[in-house]
Amino acid sequence: MAQANLAFALAGLGGFNAHGAGFLAAARDNDVVPDLITATSGQIAVLAAYLNGESDLKTHLVDPKIESNPFAQINILLFGYPDVFAPAWIEAVKRLVQPPWIGFDFDFYANRLLPAQVYKPTRSAQTIAALRDTFNQHTIGVIFNSYDPVMGEGALYGNDAARALMNPKTHLDVPPDQTSADMHFDKPAGEEKPILPITSEAIEAALWLTLYGFEGYPKDGMDGAYHRSCILSELHGFDRVYVCRPLANGWCRNELPKSYFDVQDWNTEMWFSVGYKAESDAMKRINALVAKGKVSDPDYKYVDLVEVEPETPAGYFNFFVERDAVYERAYAKSCSIFDWVANGKVGPKP
């Protein structure tokens, strides 16, 4: 790996991407500039705004009209999210009226009355192309992921800056037109996957939610956050990694879930946390082995892992609606953490 000092790892989650936006704004205001940034799901759009130098990342993400509307969740449920997704009403009607060629059984009724596709993506081709060009033209390394639900495998995509930072043998020899659909990652355990070029198709895949259904999803797969909510394990060659994830490591309050909605919030938080905890624990294990002199490979070194997480519970009715309070808390906490690190980690972590 090339000399690499600092990386950010951003974990996306609808309704809490404002946490990543607050972190990035704090990094910019504190002159903390990374060599590379990994992102998943909705953080991909937040990252593009940051790399484009947009002055107000909060305004880019938080819509006051939606945030202040007490019926925002119901509106999104019925009418979708502007310029992101819309209800798949036409597709639903087409399923209902198509001839019953497959027979009358449970699946027949479920597939038509309760289909997997609830919404359809509405980001324009121009928006996707703008994201692609922003990443490919930037000098800061960018990596994001997608997931193939059939093969059960993930893929990584990165710009030239990111590919140059990583192992050239693994990443720089990948053909420019290579896609995840062309590759089967049956590599030996411990060998890292190649980083594929960033294309419009890759971005479409990385932003394809399960709510869009599994019929006609992009050839590169779907949102990689369902497979890996945070891309961390590849960052073992960096001196320091700030991990900005929208969920804390535990429930963090006196009362455990009591209502149905508490349980659904719990399930979502645990789902998006389990993969991250596996990756962070592996990195901490490597840190311990490096500290004991058990690992001598120069590509592996002690990584100063700094987690920037919010308080939980997130709240079942807060998913999808980005809030000013999440952004402001993330900004304030990130500023405190940057100051804590700059002063040699004096005192307890903020």
> Is 99 inside any structural domain?
no
Is the model's pLDDT at 214 over the cut of 70? yes
111 found inside a domain? no
Phi-psi region of 315 (alpha: psi -120 to 50; beta: other; left: phi over 0): left
The residue among 125, 134, 122, 121 whose CA lies nearest residue 46 is 134
Coil/strand/helix, residue 158? strand
Has residue 79 been placed in a domain?
no
Give the per-residue pLDDT at 185.
Answer: 43
Structural domain including 32 reads 6-67+128-209+225-342
Whether 292 is in a domain gets the answer yes
Taking alpha carbons only, the member of 244, 245, 247 closest to residue 265 is 247
Confidence grade of residue 4 (pLDDT, cut at 50, 70, 90): low
Question: Which of the two residues, 300 and 289, has the higher pLDDT score?
Answer: 289
Percent of the chain with pLDDT over 90: 59
In a domain? residue 107: no
Question: Is residue 304 assigned to a domain?
Answer: yes
- Where does the pLDDT of residue 299 fall: very low under 50, low under 70, confident under 90, or very high at 90 and above? confident
Contacts of 55 (CB under 8 A, 6+ apart): none
Dist. CA 83–CA 5, nearest whole Å? 36
Confidence of residue 7 (pLDDT cuts 50, 70, 90): very high
- Give me the number of domains the chain comprises: 1
With respect to residue 36, please indicate whether it lies within any of the assigned structural domains.
yes
Mean pLDDT of the chain: 87
DSSP 126: H
Contact 10, 229 (CB under 8 A): no
* Contacting residues for 322 by C-beta, under 8 A, at least 6 apart: 15, 16, 17, 18, 61, 62, 63, 66, 67
22 by Cβ neighbours in 10 Å (0-12 / 13-18 / 19+) ranks as: buried
Return the higher-pLDDT residue of 225 and 298: 225
pTM for the model:
0.90
**Would you say residue 244 lies in a domain?**
yes
Candidate from 26-30, 70-74, 290-294 with smallest mean pLDDT: 70-74
Top mean-pLDDT range of 75-84, 120-129, 172-181:
120-129
- The pLDDT of residue 75 is 86
Query: Tokens 């429930």 label which residue?
Result: 251
Q: How many whole angstroms separate alpha carbon 266 and alpha carbon 250?
A: 10
